[in-house]
Amino acid sequence: MLVEKITTDPAEAPRVTRGAIVRMRRARWRVVDIRPFDGCAIVTLAGLAPPRAGLERRVLTPFDTIEPIERTRRARIVKAGAWTRACRALVAGDTPPASLRSAARARIDLLAHQLEPALAIVRGLGCRVLLADEVGLGKTIQAGLIASELRERGAIDRLLVLAPAGLREQWVAELHGRFAIEATLVDAHSLRRIASTLPIDLNPWTTLSAAVASIDYVKRPEVLPLAARCLWDLIVVDEAHASAADSDRRAAVHALCARASYALLLTATPHSGDERAFESLCAIGSIGDERDDPLLVFRRTRHDAGLAARRRVHTLRVRSSPDEQRVHRALARYSQAVRAERGDACLALAVLHKRALSSAWALAESIDRRLAMLAAPAGADAGEQLTLPMFDVNGDFTPEDDAPAWPEGVGLADADRERRLLGPIAGAARAAAARESKVAALNRLLRRIGESVVVFTEYRDTLQHLRALLQRPSLALHGGLTREERACALNAFIHRPGSVLLATDAAGEGLNLHHSCRTVINLELPWNPMRLEQRIGRVDRIGQAHTVHAFHLIADGAGELRILRRLRERIDAAKAAIGAPDPLGIVEVTIDEL
């Protein structure tokens, strides 16, 4: 048995082993781990009696005195239950090489597929892992199991989880509740509080053994250098597909992962049909060629995991109203004029068409802002300002669902002509916004369903407009909510059967709503198939007791059928590359059949 001294004087030091019962600070503890260093040792202790029962503490010897408690050699008579528990603990603790030590103590339902990544790391097959299982197969549990196992073996001391802002509390709760890992939610407030107790030249990040932070907070230029100065042993990147493209977000994540001993990337949607984005994702944290620094990829479907898939997808084609048809005709005339003058503006113009497909209200808002810019005096600063984090010091907000700025390169040299073309669009859009056909279809669909529903849309202004027109009370979840507001909305939805939750993609990522809901409605099709699967995955997860239903509302005569075909092509490409799921389904009805 491995024996390690925990004081620095060999002549006087009592010897203890992992599992020994000791006395420290007038209380009884069990030794969980011993990490020896030159002249000292870090000892992890678990409390045995109230009020410390179940608590873990780390102490530094010889600055704390630890005294072994001699066990009696006489046999002790115990009840059958205590004897059984002791035997189970001995069996669980006697793990052979390349097996897991922490899984038996974790508060999880052990599923075979969830053990495979941790076993691969323990066996030394790699240090970078891409967990790309289908939505709802327990990637958070697998990541927590890896972290717990590496900590149990003394392979890591410091853990950093980078997640979307809305998932930070969920990560802290999962690590604590399932794996007894005490993680700190890091934002500007918590760092100020920690820094106030430290010497002025000490980096507060260095005091954290397990931290959970927003990716968008950590990437800030005033935050990243301090976070990067710490040597993190394991970095977990949740919803890693959001850091795949070339951006400051990816640069920050790559810089941190490249210095970590282990990097774990989590995403249910690694491939959007864009091969370059997928390669960018796979390269996060890489410091060498593929032979020296391999990426372990785990991609399991529900069928692979032995779980039945119960999902029905419905495509509902909605007839556009005359006002909506006028909007799209007027927008087409403006687009034709811009292309005739500029030639290469197709990609930029797609932003306006995307706004029109989201809602007539959203398009009207964008057109009104453009008309205000054209009416401003020459030289006046009438442009749209960039969103700055000065009012979001804690990184709670997510700007992805904000209304986009007017596309660069879209406009006409003759401002008067542009105003004449934009005016009819604004007028028709305002008229159409009062009686949008998709809103009417949604109201009819909600009456038919009669149970809790999540409705997704891309833009925050569309969500707010939709909330005003719905015939049922609703809750809102978008990127402009604080942590407390978000928690309040989710709690109300979960505890009020029959509720309607309106959510944007930016705010809905990573939510676990499968215990309270089984239906998702997409007001418009996102242009990225990954987002479509992410939306449905909020309710289609392990533990869902009912058949999941997803409804896609498609506007006839507005170009949305072309988006549907393009999505199909990208999904087929992703399926060929990694076996991605099909969130479009095969069931199709028209709105008249509801």
pLDDT above 90: percentage of residues in the chain: 44
For the chain, the domain total comes to 4
Closest to 360 (Cα-Cα) out of 524, 562, 478: 524
Establish if 10 belongs to a structural domain: no
pLDDT value, residue 12: 42
CA 532 to mean position of chain CA atoms: 15
Among 27-36, 422-431, 558-567, the range scoring the smallest mean pLDDT is: 558-567
For residue 243, the tally of other CB atoms under 10 A from its CB is 25
Cα-Cα-Cα-Cα dihedral sign, residues 480, 481, 486, 488: negative
Closest to 398 (Cα-Cα) out of 266, 507, 293, 246: 507
Establish if 215 belongs to a structural domain: yes
- Residue pLDDT, tens place only, 92-145: 666 666 788 888 888 888 888 999 999 999 988 989 999 999 888 889 999 999
What single string gives the DSSP state of each residue in 532-579?
HHHHHTTTSSTT--S-EEEEEEEETTTTHHHHHHHHHHHHHHHHHHH-
> Nearest 5°: phi and psi at 173?
-65, -45
455 in the same domain as 315: yes
Establish if 356 belongs to a structural domain: yes
Helix-, strand-, coil-residue percentages of the chain, each rounded to 5: 40, 15, 40
Host domain of residue 188: 112-305
SS3 assignment for 273-292: CCHHHHHHHHCCCCCCCCCC
* pLDDT grade for 477, boundaries at 50, 70 and 90: very high
Cα distance between residue 158 and residue 20, in whole Å: 25
* pLDDT grade for 91, boundaries at 50, 70 and 90: low
Predicted confidence (pLDDT) at residue 58 exceeds the cutoff of 90: no
Cα distance between residue 82 and residue 535, in whole Å: 47
- Which amino acid, 489? A
> Nearest 5°: phi and psi at 391?
-100, 10
The mean pLDDT value for 210-239 works out to 94
297 in the same domain as 199: yes
pLDDT value, residue 89: 67
Predicted confidence (pLDDT) at residue 231 exceeds the cutoff of 70: yes
pLDDT value, residue 356: 92
Q: Which alpha helices (DSSP H) does 343-482 contain, by range?
A: 346-358, 360-375, 415-433, 437-449, 460-469
CA 435 to mean position of chain CA atoms: 35
Establish if 92 belongs to a structural domain: no
Predicted confidence (pLDDT) at residue 1 exceeds the cutoff of 80: no
In three-state secondary structure terms, 123 is coil
Residue 574: half-sphere exposure toward Cβ, Cα within 13 Å? 26
Among 322-326, 348-352, 397-401, 532-536, the range scoring the smallest mean pLDDT is: 397-401
The mean pLDDT value for 341-346 works out to 80
Predicted confidence (pLDDT) at residue 576 exceeds the cutoff of 50: yes
Closest to 161 (Cα-Cα) out of 217, 225, 104: 217
* pLDDT grade for 3, boundaries at 50, 70 and 90: very low
Q: Which helix (H) or strand (E) holds 317?
A: strand 311-318
246 in the same domain as 125: yes
Axis crossing angle, helix 360-375 with helix 346-358, rounded to the nearest 10: 130
246 in the same domain as 211: yes
* Ramachandran bin of 158, using left for φ above 0, alpha for ψ from -120 to 50, beta for the remaining angles: beta
Which CATH number characterizes residue 130's domain?
3.40.50.10810
- Residue pLDDT, tens place only, 145-187: 999 999 888 889 899 999 998 889 999 999 999 999 999 999 9
Cα distance between residue 284 and residue 307, in whole Å: 31
Cα-Cα-Cα-Cα dihedral sign, residues 350, 351, 354, 355: negative
Closest to 234 (Cα-Cα) out of 171, 308, 159, 179: 159
Q: Which alpha helices (DSSP H) does 209-310 contain, by range?
A: 215-218, 224-228, 248-259, 275-282
Q: What is the mean pLDDT of the chain?
A: 85
Closest to 183 (Cα-Cα) out of 163, 148, 145, 211: 211
Question: Cβ contacts of residue 241 below 8 Å, gap of 6+?
Answer: 267, 269, 270, 272, 277, 281, 530
Cα distance between residue 417 and residue 337, in whole Å: 10
Among 74-78, 184-188, 590-594, the range scoring the smallest mean pLDDT is: 590-594
Predicted confidence (pLDDT) at residue 293 exceeds the cutoff of 80: no
* pLDDT grade for 380, boundaries at 50, 70 and 90: low
For residue 586, the tally of other CB atoms under 10 A from its CB is 9
What single string gives the DSSP state of each residue in 169-203?
HHHHHHHHHHH----EEESHHHHHHHHTTS-TTS-
143 in the same domain as 47: no
315 in the same domain as 297: no
In three-state secondary structure terms, 67 is strand
494 in the same domain as 542: yes
DSSP 590: E
pLDDT value, residue 583: 79
Establish if 202 belongs to a structural domain: yes
> Nearest 5°: phi and psi at 281?
-60, -45
Cis peptide bond N-terminal to 399, omega within 30: no
- Which amino acid, 288? G
CB 569 within 8 A of CB 305: no
- The two beta strands, 15-16 and 4-5, are antiparallel
Cα distance between residue 470 and residue 452, in whole Å: 14
Predicted confidence (pLDDT) at residue 589 exceeds the cutoff of 60: no
DSSP 12: T
pLDDT value, residue 449: 93
220 in the same domain as 296: yes
Establish if 382 belongs to a structural domain: no
Closest to 321 (Cα-Cα) out of 421, 427, 428: 428
Residue 318: half-sphere exposure toward Cβ, Cα within 13 Å? 28
SS3 assignment for 456-497: EECCHHHHHHHHHHCCCCCEEECCCCCHHHHHHHHHHHHHCC
* pLDDT grade for 593, boundaries at 50, 70 and 90: very low
Assigned token pair, 105: 């103590």
- Which amino acid, 500? V
Establish if 163 belongs to a structural domain: yes
280 in the same domain as 168: yes
- Which amino acid, 284? I
- Residue pLDDT, tens place only, 425-450: 999 999 999 999 999 999 999 999 98
As beta bridge partners, residue 33 has 44
* pLDDT grade for 521, boundaries at 50, 70 and 90: very high
Predicted confidence (pLDDT) at residue 223 exceeds the cutoff of 90: yes
358 in the same domain as 253: no
415 in the same domain as 461: no
289 in the same domain as 174: yes
Establish if 11 belongs to a structural domain: no
pLDDT value, residue 462: 95
CB 409 within 8 A of CB 345: yes
- The two beta strands, 311-318 and 453-457, are unpaired
pLDDT value, residue 294: 87
pLDDT value, residue 2: 38
Q: Which residue has the higher pLDDT, 84 or 355?
A: 355
